[in-house]
Amino acid sequence: MILKPITSKILALNMRAAQQKAIRFDKGSPTLTFSENELAKLKLTLIKKYMNDYSIHPPIDGFKPLIQVIQSIERNSNNRRVQNKNIALTNGVLSSLFYLLLIITNTGDPIIVNCIVFEGILTLLKSLRLKPIMVSFQNTFQLEVALKKTGAKVLILNSPENPSGKIFDKYFLSKLNTLARTYKITVISDEVNNQRIYSPFEWIAPSQYIDLSRLVTLNSVTKNFYLPGVRLGWMVANEQLIKKYKKIIAVSQVAIGMPQQILAYEQLKKNNNKLTKSLQELQNKKKYMERILQIEKLEYLAPVQAGSVFFINLRTNATVLNEKLLRESRVSFIPGIYFGNKWKNWGRFGFGAVTKKEIKKGLCIIKNNIQRIT
C-alpha cells in the first residue's frame, strides 16, 4: 500500500519532533496502554495457550472468540446485531479502505469526502489515483448537487470526524440514507473514534440510519481500544462485499496472524477497567485544553465531541509556523493543509500524548508567536 506524499511528510515531522524532544501535539493518539515488553510476554503466553486448538495460519473467517467480542461491541456501541457473514477482520482502517476501494472503484473515479477529512484518507485516494471531491457535509443540498454533477458512487465519512471531533446528527444521516438509495452510492464510515465520546455528548451510529446494503463501517482495535502493536480492525458490510474482501485478502497474503487475533481477543475481553480509565484521563485533558484555549482566546472548531485532537485557527500559514516553533521552541503540531487546502492556516493539536503542563506551555508559546506574526 502506497502512503505518500501526505503521510510521508507527517511521519517525517513526527520523527523530527521525537528527535528534538518537542511538546508532541503532532501525535493524535493517546499514550500507549502497554509496553513492548508486556506485549511480547503476552504473545508468548497466549500462543502456548491456544496453539493446540488453532494452527498458526488464521482461518479466513477469523478467530471465533474474537468475532464474538466484535459482535458484542457492535451491539453495545451501534445497537445492531451483526452476523459472522457480515464481518471481516482487517489490518486497520487504512489497509481495509485500500483493499475495499480496489474492489468497488476504478482508476479516476470521483469519491465524495467532507470538506474536512482525515489526511490518511486523502493520501490513500491519491495513491489509488481516485479523485476526492470535497464537499461540506453541513450542506446537504450542496452534497446532492455534487452527487448529481460527478456521478460519484462512493462517499467516505469520518464518523466521528477527524480532526474536528464532530458526531454527525440524525438529520444528516437520515438524509444521507435517502441520497444513498436515490443515487445508488456506497457509504463508507470510518469509526475509529466511536469509543472516545465525551460527556455529555452521545454517539449516533450511522448504521442506525443507513441501510446495511449501502453501508460499510470500519473500526480499529489499535486506536479505539488503545492496543499498541496490534494492527487489527474489522469491517462490517453486506455479505456479498465481505466475500469479495476476504477473497482479495487471501490472494494478497495480508491476513491477520493468529497471535494478533488472540492477543486482541484477550485484551478486549478483560480490559474494560483500563479502557474506562484511559477515556477518563482523555476527558480530563480535553477539558483542561479547552479551558486554556479559551483563556488564550484561540479559535478552534467546537464542540469537540469525540477523538483526541483540537483543530485550531492559527491565523497564519501553519506549515511555516510549525517549522519555526519546532526549530526555536520545540513545539510540534500537524499543519491543517494536510486536511485540505482551505485549512492552510489551521493546525491539528493532539492532547492524548501530552501532559497538562505541556498543554499550557505549548499553547502559550503558540499564542505569543501568533501575536508577533499577525
Q: What is the CATH number of the domain that holds 125?
A: 3.40.640.10
Q: Are residues 186 and 92 in the same domain?
A: yes
CB atoms within 10 A of CB 5: 12
- Residue 46's pLDDT is what? 64
235, 270, 305 — which closes off a domain? 270
Q: Are residues 25 and 106 in the same domain?
A: no
Tell me the helices (H) and strands (E) count for the chain, helix number first.
13, 12
Q: Are residues 285 and 177 in the same domain?
A: no
Are 337 and 343 in contact by the 8 Å Cβ rule? The answer is yes
HSE toward the beta carbon, residue 175, CA cutoff 13 A: 13
- Residue 226's pLDDT is what? 72
- Residue 353's pLDDT is what? 86
* 43 within domain boundaries: no
Grid cell for residue 117: 477529512
Q: Are residues 171 and 261 in the same domain?
A: yes
Q: What mean pLDDT comes out for the span 363-371?
A: 91
Q: Which domain holds residue 23?
A: 6-33+273-373
Cβ contacts of 123 within 8 Å, gap of 6 or more? 3, 4, 5, 6, 7
* Measured distance CA(353)–CA(37) in Å, rounded: 20
Q: How far is the CA of 70 from the CAs of 89, 170, 196, 232, 284, in angstroms?
A: 10, 24, 17, 12, 28
Structure-model confidence comparison of residues 46 and 335, the more confident one: 335
Structure-model confidence comparison of residues 88 and 58, the more confident one: 88
* Measured distance CA(359)–CA(23) in Å, rounded: 8
Grid cell for residue 192: 475509529
Grid cell for residue 316: 497564519
- Residue 3's pLDDT is what? 45
Q: Are residues 80 and 199 in the same domain?
A: yes
Q: Are residues 93 and 227 in the same domain?
A: yes
Q: Are residues 171 and 242 in the same domain?
A: yes
Which amino acid belongs to residue 107?
T
Q: What is the pLDDT of residues 314-356, one digit of tens each?
A: 999 999 999 999 999 999 999 998 888 889 999 999 998 899 9
Q: Are residues 283 and 252 in the same domain?
A: no
Nearest to 259 by CA among 230, 288, 279, 302: 230
* 291 within domain boundaries: yes
* Measured distance CA(369)–CA(374) in Å, rounded: 9
Which amino acid belongs to residue 284?
N
Q: Are residues 16 and 80 in the same domain?
A: no
Q: Are residues 254 and 326 in the same domain?
A: no
246, 270, 294 — which closes off a domain? 270
**Quick one: CA dihedral 14, 15, 16, 21, positive or negative?**
positive
245, 270, 295 — which closes off a domain? 270
Q: Are residues 261 and 284 in the same domain?
A: no
Question: How many domains in the chain?
Answer: 2
- Residue 250's pLDDT is what? 78
* 68 within domain boundaries: yes
Confidence of residue 34 (pLDDT cuts 50, 70, 90): low
Grid cell for residue 328: 526555536
Q: Are residues 284 and 342 in the same domain?
A: yes
* 112 within domain boundaries: yes
Grid cell for residue 153: 458512487
113-122, 223-232, 281-290, range with the lowest pLDDT: 223-232
Nearest to 264 by CA among 220, 236, 224, 227: 227
Q: What is the pLDDT of residues 164-189, one digit of tens each?
A: 999 999 999 999 999 999 999 999 99
Residue 35, pLDDT > 60, answer no
- Residue 2's pLDDT is what? 44
90-94, 181-185, 262-266, 340-344, range with the lowest pLDDT: 262-266
* 252 within domain boundaries: yes
Phi-psi region of 216 (alpha: psi -120 to 50; beta: other; left: phi over 0): beta
* 41 within domain boundaries: no
CB atoms within 10 A of CB 59: 12
Are 361 and 334 in contact by the 8 Å Cβ rule? The answer is no
50-54, 136-140, 145-149, range with the lowest pLDDT: 50-54
* 109 within domain boundaries: yes
Are 157 and 189 in contact by the 8 Å Cβ rule? The answer is yes
Q: What mean pLDDT comes out for the span 282-293?
A: 94
